Amino acid sequence: MPLINVIPGDKIPMAPMNVRLPAWRVPGWLLVLWWLARGLFRLTVLAIRYWWLTAPVALALWVRAEFGGLVLAGVVLTVATGCAAWWRWHPSSWLRFGWYPLVSRFRALFVYRRRWASVMATCGLATTFAGNRYVPQLLRVRGDRFGDELTVRLLPGQIPDDWGQAAERLAYAFRRRSGQARSTGRPDRVVVRLVRRDPLAAVVVPLPVADVPELDGLPLGVDEDGQPYRLRLAGSHVLIAGATGSGKGSVLWSLLRSLAGGIQSGLIEVWAFDPKGGMELAAGVPLFTRFTYDDPDSMAGVLEEAVKRMRLRAARLRGVTRQHVPTPEDPLLVLVVDELAALTAYITDRKVRDRIKESLGLLLSQGRAVGVHVVAALQDPRKDVLPFRDLFPTRIGLRLTEPEQVDMVLGDAARDRGALCDRIPESSPGVGFVVLDGVREPVRVRFAYLTDDDIRQLGRDYRRLCDDTDQEVTS
């Protein structure tokens, strides 16, 4: 090509627009080499990720090639015999460290990862940006005999409540009974629990009675992990809400049973209020120091006596301690109200109703530190019926009739976090969700069931050690 002398100020001649410069093309063999290297890299990554599947296959192929089929059959038989012996000798450790981890890996591969991207998109948990699709990463699957727990890395901008709202859709997408999401210790992760079989289907028998009740953890039932559920009464009030036949009596009598040892020794006094004429609580009269029913005026008077005792105790403990410790001389006072709405909304006498509301407001706002606790049950959770919801640190929701009632009882967004009280079947009385102040996720529990004979026997075995004149029953 001849050289062009360029004089300053002259224009440089340009090539015509229709002249194409020669394009450099990638040789075919180089493309083939690139795709082979890329495929080999992906296979290596998959082999390392699913080592629990590729390693046994590779080992079996090696044994078959080196020693023959008979040796391979002998190795397989030996491994199977060892697993069977392990299961027979110690089934709990076999399930925990052998069977469930293996089944969880297979479920992760063939149930969840196979459909993960499509399910995330249809459930609204995937997103697109600049033409690219972003899907939350499934980190781990841990299964047991009732369901699976999926640990997921959140996308930027997601919070655990987003997964709580989508948990039910995820359960149906993966053919599971129910779903619940909860946060973990790390802010970028969430755990989704998908249930295949209800772990609380069986009735819970009455739990053993301790001689000295542990007020920081009273055993009342069983949680979804099969462990005894312990409810903290010290420094708390308890609200129980549920429709007719939902099992409110199971919660009340399980609580009274767990307190029975302290009632017998005098560490605990129970004042019972049964506005429904004494039908529910009358069987436990030997356990109660005070028992009132039917007459609203007498119930208002007993509540005012409780307020007076609370104030006298507060004056005595002021400057000495910030938390009451029960003794036989200064026992813990537990007020049990079977139907709170009958005291706060259904009484026609306005003056009596105002007295009851005033006393309950004082007891709920000032009684925890001085050892005066309120345990109340109700059926109707409307605001005008339940004006003291926020004063109950512990709230229990059993079967409810409407989805809106869940948030009325357990707090805002409780249903989105998994407290599906309106989905509890009528065939499961005593199943409910427990929400504690300061704890985001509700806990699903089945409370122990006490028959009428169990309640009467409880009253005979743990009746208060006092004279008959020390007990007051007011109609």
List, as residue ranges, the binding site for ATP: 242-249
The CA distance from 339 to 221, in Å, is 22
What are 137's strand-pairing partners?
153
DSSP-based three-state secondary structure for 116:
helix
Residue type present at position 24: W
Q: Is the four-CA dihedral 342, 344, 350, 351 of positive or negative sign?
A: positive
Rounded to the nearest 10 degrees, how much is the dihedral formed by the CA atoms of 299, 301, 306, 309? Answer: -160
Maximum CA extent, the chain: 127
Q: How far apart are CA 187 and CA 63, in angstroms?
A: 46
Alpha-carbon distance of 163 to 183, in angstroms, equals 10
Separation in Å, CA 457 to CA 23, 268, 335, 463: 96, 19, 22, 10
**End-to-end Cα spacing for the chain:** 119
Q: Which residues contact 431 (CB under 8 A, 6 or more apart)?
A: 200, 247, 398, 399, 424, 444, 445, 446, 447
* Residue written as token pair 């109700």: 378
d(CA 70, CA 458): 66
Report the distance separating Cα 15 and Cα 10, nearest Å: 16
Binding residues: 242-249
**What is the C-alpha to C-alpha distance for residues 233 and 393, in angstroms, rounded to an integer?**
10
